Amino acid sequence: MPDSRLVFGDLALEVVVSDPPWHQNCDLVRHLPSGAVLIVDPGARPADILAAAQADGGVPKAILLTHGHPDHISGAAGLQEALKLPCHAHEKERPVIERAANMASSLMGMRLTPPQCTWFVEAPTLEAGEIPMRVIETPGHTPGGVCYDFGGFVLTGDTLFNYGVGRTDLPGGDGRALVESITRLLGMLPEEAVLFSGHGPEWTVAEAQGWWQRVAAQGGLF
């Protein structure tokens, strides 16, 4: 098993980072007993994602989106075309994904085909490819942003970075909602859980809580 995989019980996590300038983290969650793989936020090239997901007999089962910005979904349609994978996103993220092609063209100078999504509402407990997860609603960066909790680790997308938060100046962003989401998220998780964001390195919930308390003491972010 490659050294780049981190193991959490029956699950392993591998990160495929996209090309500059976005350096976006696509997370591959692998169920070690079965080989089932979930692809979360496929912003890297589909060929790179597929090679990593299918290594050692991995079988991609589904795509999950934390949110619908172009740098997080640019590889999703290609993966669907290659493997006919379902793509799950929050219902409130539908307008973000539907206008992702326009955002990609106007703000990023890139062409993008949005994925065909299956929409969920509220915060269900999903199960795909024998991998159960808790969905935590975290609006603020986008209206339908979510985090995926796999127990020992959580995928936070652009809601919460290592010592930073997602921007709120794009359409649908809401600074107050983001602060409320992060406060609620950190209060729901054990201190030892590891947070993996959409850009940059991981950190623990305990580290994030300490930083968030300091931010609040200094008057907050917004």
Structure tokens at 220: 């907050």
Residue 222 lies in a domain: no
pLDDT (mean) for 67-91: 96
DSSP designation for 56 = G
Contacting residues for 73 by C-beta, under 8 A, at least 6 apart:
41, 42, 43, 65, 97, 100, 112, 114, 115
Tell me if 1 is assigned to some domain.
no
182-209 confidence digits (pLDDT tens): 999 999 999 999 999 999 999 999 999 9
pLDDT at 46: 96
CATH code: domain of residue 163: 3.60.15.10
Type of residue at 70: P
Terminal Cα-to-Cα distance of the chain (whole angstroms): 43
Q: Is residue 122 part of a domain?
A: yes
Residue 124: its pLDDT value, please?
67
Segments forming the whole domain that contains residue 202: 6-217
User: Does the pLDDT at position 2 exceed 50?
Assistant: no
**Residue 128 domain-assigned (yes or no):** yes
Taking residues 160-178, report their average pLDDT. 96
Give the pLDDT confidence of 23-35 residue by residue, as tens digits. Answer: 999 999 999 999 9
The pLDDT value recorded for residue 122 is: 74
Q: Is residue 33 part of a domain?
A: yes
**pLDDT value of residue 220:** 80
Q: Which 3 state secondary structure label does DSSP give 91?
A: helix
| Averaged confidence pLDDT in the chain | 94
| Total tally of structural domains belonging to the chain | 1
Contact 5, 176 (CB under 8 A): no
Please check whether residue 189 lies inside any domain of the structure. Answer: yes
Q: Which residues is 197 bridged to in the sheet?
A: 157
pLDDT at res. 68: 97
The pLDDT, as a whole number, for residue 219 is 84
Q: What pLDDT score was predicted for residue 1? A: 41
- State how far Cα 137 lies from the chain centre: 12
| C-alpha distances out from residue 173 to 104, 165, 220, Å | 17, 12, 17
Stated as kind and residue range, the H or E segment containing 18 is: none
In a domain, 25, yes or no: yes
In whole angstroms, give the CA distance from residue 50 to residue 35.
14
Residue 166 forms part of a structural domain = yes
DSSP 122-171: S--EEEETTEEEEEEE-TTSSTT-EEEE-SSEEEEETTEETTEE----ST
pLDDT tens for 111-161 read: 999 999 999 987 667 777 678 899 999 999 999 999 999 999 999 999 999
Distances (CA, A) of 149 to 90, 161, 173, 193: 15, 15, 23, 9
